[in-house]
């Protein structure tokens, strides 16, 4: 049997909306997407691929219109309130974190939300509290965050199978949320309301800051005369990531984990002369790496002392 959300009982062979269905696995006949950004357009296309009917989507920027044409070419583009009214089963709101509260409040004030309608957002930072205006209108709130980075192209659809979704849902909505995630090819991770900011901080720290770190490394290689830094970095970084995910702190290597204070001092001196904007991030990450290496038993405290002294000297501006 397909993983699509279906009604299985003989008594419910006719499609039922989420507002009226009593069975555990209703068909999503009408889905609306507010926000045709990279996430919204991709998840909308994934729902279509899973057999659901996306009836309308909103997106006013040129980039949003282009994504809709590429990923949801048969779905009409409508204003947000019209999308909400058309989406009797599921309304998926995929807008920036800081815009979410205003969008939900505006839809509720317009009377665009209805009792029984599932209103889900894709923000990792928010839980159910931001959907309170929707709940007050009788809608059923759901936080559904895909733990993936999106480019807004069809390639994103190929990255969805097997990813995790940070889900926060009322107890009675959990079965439907689990089946919706399964329909998208994912796995639910149940996140408590109070833990949403920590959950999102972890993902942003790991993924977004990784992009910055990789590009900083590429820039410094260019400064050192390397013409194609990506060729140098790709095998090294892939191995480091795989080892870190498999071994944790036991994957630590390099001068900090060995306590090579002289090497780190030379790093910092050259960075200060060539790319002073990189010194602060190097100091912070070197210190955190040393702390983790000591805690993991990879670096003896006595061997860390000289290294930490170098870092402290540069922090205080008294490096020799």
| DSSP-H helix ranges across the chain | 38-49, 62-71, 80-86, 97-109, 132-136, 155-159, 174-183, 196-203, 209-223, 229-247, 255-258, 261-274, 279-295, 301-316
pLDDT at 3: 38
Distance CA(44)–CA(50), nearest Å, equals 10
CATH topology of domain 10-191: Rossmann fold (3.40.50)
Q: Report whether pLDDT(258) > 80.
A: yes
pLDDT digits (tens, 9 = 90+) for 130-156: 999 999 999 999 999 999 999 888 999
pLDDT at 128: 98
Distances (CA, A) of 275 to 210, 228, 267: 19, 19, 11
Query: Which residues lie below 8 Å from residue 17, measured CB to CB, with a gap of 6+?
Result: 26, 29, 30, 88, 89, 116
Alpha-carbon torsion (135, 138, 139, 141), positive or negative: positive
pLDDT digits (tens, 9 = 90+) for 7-49: 333 333 333 333 333 334 455 679 999 999 999 999 999 999 9
Domains of the chain, residue spans: 10-191, 199-316
């Amino acid at each position: 049997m397909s993983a699509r959300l279906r009604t299985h009982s003989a008594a419910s062979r006719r499609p039922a909306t989420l507002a009226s269905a009593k069975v555990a696995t209703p068909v999503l006949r009408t889905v609306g997407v507010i926000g045709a950004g990279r996430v919204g357009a991709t998840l909308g296309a994934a729902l279509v691929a899973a057999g659901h009917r996306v009836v309308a989507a909103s997106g006013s920027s040129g980039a949003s219109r282009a994504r809709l044409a590429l990923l949801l070419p048969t779905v009409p583009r409508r204003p947000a309130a019209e999308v909400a009214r058309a989406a009797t089963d599921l309304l998926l709101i995929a807008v920036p974190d800081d815009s979410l509260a205003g969008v939900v409040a505006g839809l509720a004030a317009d009377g665009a939300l209805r009792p029984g309608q599932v209103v889900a957002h894709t923000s990792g930072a928010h839980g159910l509290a931001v959907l309170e205006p929707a709940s007050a209108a009788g809608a059923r709130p759901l936080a559904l965050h895909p733990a993936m980075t999106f480019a807004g192209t069809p390639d994103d659809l190929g990255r969805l199978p097997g990813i995790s979704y940070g889900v926060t849902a009322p107890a009675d909505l959990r079965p439907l949320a689990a089946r919706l995630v399964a329909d998208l090819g994912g796995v639910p991770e149940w996140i408590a309301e109070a833990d949403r900011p920590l959950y999102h901080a972890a993902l942003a720290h790991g993924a977004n800051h990784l992009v910055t770190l990789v590009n900083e490394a590429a820039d410094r290689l260019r400064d050192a005369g390397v013409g194609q830094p990506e060729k140098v970095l790709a095998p090294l970084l892939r191995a480091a990531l795989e080892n870190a995910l498999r071994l944790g702190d036991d994957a630590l290597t390099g001068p900090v984990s060995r306590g090579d204070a002289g090497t780190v001092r030379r790093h910092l001196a050259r960075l200060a002369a060539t790319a002073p904007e990189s010194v602060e991030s190097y100091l912070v990450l070197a210190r955190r790496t040393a702390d983790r290496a000591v805690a993991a038993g990879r670096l003896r405290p006595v061997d860390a002392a000289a290294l930490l002294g170098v870092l402290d000297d540069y922090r205080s501006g008294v490096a020799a």
